[in-house]
């Protein structure tokens, strides 16, 4: 029997459908509640609102579960390449060798930027935030490929557009860094893996090619895999909202980049390192920072702590914490920020404020230390997140079109003036 919910309001009773997902998640369908009753629901920040049906990624925040298309993040992180995970997220299945080869070739084919696009980088001030450059350049790339302005959520046109975006985001990001440091651009090398190619574009010099060590390449691959998708987070929801107006894929993901930039979302990976550096430089105790985070008169928050969905632990943070240790060891590096991070985490685990609010390290807490170890500059951390999240954004954009999702248009409860007569300037 189909489960139903009953809402009693305004002296009337309304029967509402209950929808159950494949993991037994339940929701009450209120789509026609307003037209039937005149009532809307209120949920600022959408903490309790299902905005779509999706078969891409499953998150169980209570039990720390994250799966891409059914595959547990722990297995994926250990075994998969970012390119095959991008394919999985986009197309729903792991690629067979032939498909994998074709997909990799498509990424290589689209890696280079149109040469007329290159001079646009020099129009940015040298200290322009790379996230601003990335967002702007994504829209600009689309101008050089007018065919991608057409909305295709399936078929060869979509495949081409998705490959173009997945590949060019990496080139744009590396070029933004080269421009900021006043260095010549390094063009993509089709003989390198996705990660090694990015590192080459970032760090090769005219006098010496940068050859990524297997440890560094593996660490970057892991970082990207762990960030590949995370269901309806702030940036992905942004991509969906923008895409719901039938805006093209490039403008939709450019908006996603802007949402990711914020310090409460992807920008937190930069915030964590700045916070740890600040703790180190200040010579103040860990306790004083924890006290500041707890102080309701202060706007300071412990960066890299807390999550809207994970209320026990973030599985990505557990994986990253272990990998950071291994990578530092393999690279014979000793990072004092890791010691501070471990101390900070340990202190919060004994603190009722953090325990009672279920505030644990999230994906951003240890990722910055990993990026630091492999030589990524601090202002590029959130850009790295954006490269990693691209498969999730593209796939959610595709899915919303496949589901023919209605334009996003939330309601509000108006709390302003009721009607009043206009006052001419002279009488004010
Ligand atoms: N430090 C101190 N207190 C915190 C923190 C923190 N990092 N995070 C949440 N809290 C407190 C809030 O002050 C609030 O306390 P109250 O109940 O006494 O008012 C309570 O915990 C609940 O916090 P909310 O802000 O309501 O939680 P929400 O789900 O809206 O926000 C968020 C989640 C944005 C991640 C928040 O925990 C935060 O700001 N964390 C720091 C920034 C961060 O690390 N962001 C990355 C998130 S992961 C990602 O986007 C990839």
Query: Which mean pLDDT values do the consecutive 10-residue runs of the chain (428 residues) have?
Result: 92 97 97 97 97 98 97 97 98 98 97 94 94 97 91 92 97 96 96 98 97 95 98 98 97 98 97 97 95 96 97 96 94 95 95 96 96 96 98 98 97 98 97
pLDDT at position 292 is 96
Mutate to test the pocket of ligand 1, among 272, 306, 309 (most ligand atoms within 8 A of CB): 306
pLDDT at position 150 is 87
Residue nearest to atom 16 of ligand 1 (CA): 357
**Which CATH number is 4-65's, of 1.10.760, 2.20.28, 3.40.50, 1.10.287?**
2.20.28
Q: In whole angstroms, what is the distance from residue 207 CA to residue 43 CA?
A: 57
pLDDT at position 1 is 60
Residue nearest to atom 8 of ligand 1 (CA): 306
Residue nearest to atom 11 of ligand 1 (CA): 357
Residue 352 among the catalytic residues: no
Q: Which atom of ligand 1 is nearest to the CA of 227?
A: 51
Q: Which atom of ligand 1 is nearest to the CA of 365?
A: 44
pLDDT at position 245 is 97
Is the separation of the CB atoms in 265 and 235 below 8 Å?
yes
Q: Given the residues 152, 227, 230, 364, select the one marked as catalytic.
A: 364
Instruction: Report the alpha-carbon angle 279-283-289, nearest 5.
Output: 45
Task: Cite the residue boundaries of each domain of the chain with CATH code 1.10.230.10.
Answer: 268-374
Q: In CATH, what number does 70-263+381-402 get?
A: 1.10.580.10
Tokens 């609102």 -> residue: 49
358 CB under 6 A from ligand 1? no
Give the list of residues 6+ apart from residue 240 with CB closer than 8 angstroms, or none. Answer: 51, 52, 232, 252, 396, 397, 400, 405, 408
How far apart are the CA of 293 and the centre of ligand 1, in A? 10
The CATH architecture to which 268-374 belongs is Orthogonal Bundle (1.10)
Burial class, 104, CB count within 10 angstroms (exposed 0-12 / middle 13-18 / buried 19+): buried
Task: Cite the residue boundaries of each domain of the chain with CATH code 1.10.580.10.
Answer: 70-263+381-402
Report the Cα–Cα distance between both ends of the chain, in Å, rounded. 64
Residue 7's DSSP bridge partners are: 14
Entry pTM: 0.97
Residue 60 among the catalytic residues: no
304 CB under 6 A from ligand 1? yes
């Amino acid at each position: 029997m189909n489960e139903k919910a009953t809402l009693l309001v305004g002296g009337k009773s309304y029967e509402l459908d209950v929808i159950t997902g494949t993991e037994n998640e339940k929701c009450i369908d209120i789509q026609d509640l307003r037209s039937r009753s005149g009532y809307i629901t209120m949920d600022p920040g959408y903490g309790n609102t299902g905005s779509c049906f999706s078969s891409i990624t499953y998150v169980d925040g209570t039990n720390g579960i994250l799966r891409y298309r059914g595959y547990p993040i722990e297995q994926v992180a250990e075994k998969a390449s970012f390119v095959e995970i991008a394919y999985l997220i986009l197309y729903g299945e792991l690629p067979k060798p032939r498909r994998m080869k074709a997909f990799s070739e498509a990424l290589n084919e689209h890696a280079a930027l149109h040469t007329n696009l290159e001079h646009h980088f020099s129009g940015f001030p040298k200290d322009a935030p790379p996230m601003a450059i990335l967002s702007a350049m994504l829209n600009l790339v689309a101008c050089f490929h007018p065919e991608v302005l057409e909305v295709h959520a399936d078929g060869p046109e979509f495949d081409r557009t998705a490959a173009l975006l997945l590949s060019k985001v990496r080139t744009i990001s590396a070029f933004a860094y080269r421009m900021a440091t006043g260095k010549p651009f390094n063009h993509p090398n089709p003989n390198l893996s996705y990660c090694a190619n990015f590192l080459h574009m970032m760090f090769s010099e005219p006098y010496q090619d940068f050859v990524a060590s297997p440890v560094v390449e593996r660490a970057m691959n892991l970082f990207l895999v762990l960030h590949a998708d995370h269901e309806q987070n702030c940036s992905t929801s942004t991509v969906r909202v923008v895409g719901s107006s039938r805006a093209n894929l490039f403008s939709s993901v450019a908006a996603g980049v802007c949402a990711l930039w914020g310090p409460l979302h992807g920008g937190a990976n930069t915030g964590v390192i700045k916070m740890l550096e600040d703790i180190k430089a200040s010579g103040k105790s860990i306790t004083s920072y924890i006290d500041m985070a707890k102080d309701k008169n202060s706007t300071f928050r412990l960066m890299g702590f807390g999550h809207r969905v994970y209320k026990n632990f973030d599985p990505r943070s557990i994986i990253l914490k272990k990998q950071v240790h291994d990578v530092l060891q393999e690279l014979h590096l000793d990072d004092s920020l890791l010691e501070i991070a471990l101390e900070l985490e340990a202190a919060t685990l004994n603190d009722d404020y953090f325990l009672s609010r279920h505030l644990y390290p999230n994906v951003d807490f240890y990722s910055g230390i990993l990026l630091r170890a492999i030589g990524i500059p601090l202002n590029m951390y959130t850009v790295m997140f954006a490269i990693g999240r691209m498969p999730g954004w593209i796939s959610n954009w595709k899915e919303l079109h496949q589901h023919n999702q209605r334009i996003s248009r939330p309601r509000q409860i108006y709390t302003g003036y009721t009607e009043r007569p206009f006052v001419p300037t002279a009488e004010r």
